[in-house]
Amino acid sequence: MSTNSNSNSNSSSTPKLGQHWLQDQNILQAIADYADLDSDDFVLEIGPGLGTLTSKLLKTEAKVLAVEFDEQLAGNLPKSFPGKLNLTVQNSDIRKFNFEELPAGYKLVTNLPYYISGIFFRILIDIKNKPSLTVALVQQEVAEKLSKSPELGESNKLAMLAAYYYQTELGIKVSAKSFSPPPKVTSQVLILYPRFEPLFPELDFKLYSRLVKFAFASPRKTLINNIAAGLRLPKNDVIELVKSLNLNPGIRAEQLRVEDWQKLFKVLLKFK
């Protein structure tokens, strides 16, 4: 799998796109192990590339659907696993992939191209047929960002949006030396488990995401300034509102804990 910095479909023959292939067998096995697969599982692998991770997934006897954007790579992949009836390869853009056709309870495993990580997590948030488990190798910076949670008293916009549906856990770090050629960054496994119910079940996601985006609109500004601007409310009114919740007027959105968000949402619902 590559950590492409470009989405050009001819990437397999274009050195300038900077592909970095994960070759460390122990790391590949660890990623597969996180998915905890057996013959009853259906796993979606996004971006199989040369099939190094695919090989580990197939050994579990799980049914593997490998979705590869690069036409040449997709065409070559089945040739690497002759006779493997539990492998299906699809040449497709994951941004246009129909997740609703996957069986309920499927698992998702990916050594994700860096350029698509932001899009990938937005897709995970938006799709209705969510995976029962997601194991993704991404840039360490992205993994750490997504692992933040209001349940830990620290967050950010993307982590808050993901936290509505998922609980996250950090896996192993992967050195650049595990890739050929080595990239300039360290990678890390991020594991996502779907919640039995949304983190804030009293809010539908559309309204929740709107309020979250307002709260994090300008990271350097206080919660008061962001909320006042987003909801077009007088700043003094928002100051009084925040004080009524026993919150520091200088607090920023990333500092709010779950209970703070719950109190804030309850009040902000009056202004929707």
pLDDT tens digit sequence for 48-91: 999 999 999 999 999 999 999 999 999 999 999 999 999 999 99
The Cα–Cα gap between 91 and 107 comes to 19
Helix axes of 223-231 and 235-244: crossing angle, nearest 10 degrees:
130
How high is the pLDDT of residue 153?
Answer: 83
Is residue 166 helix, strand or coil? strand
List CB contacts of 79: < 8 A, sequence separation 6 or more.
none
pTM of the model: 0.90
Q: What tokens does 269 get?
A: 């619902």
Cβ–Cβ < 8 Å for 10, 33: no
How high is the pLDDT of residue 114?
Answer: 83
In angstroms, the Cα distances linking 170 to 21, 142, 191, 264 are 22, 11, 6, 29
How high is the pLDDT of residue 12?
Answer: 37
Low-confidence ranges of the chain (pLDDT < 50): 1-18
How high is the pLDDT of residue 11?
Answer: 36
Is residue 147 helix, strand or coil? helix
How high is the pLDDT of residue 272?
Answer: 62
How high is the pLDDT of residue 177?
Answer: 95
How high is the pLDDT of residue 17?
Answer: 41
The Cα–Cα gap between 74 and 45 comes to 12
Longest distance between any two alpha carbons in the chain, whole Å = 70
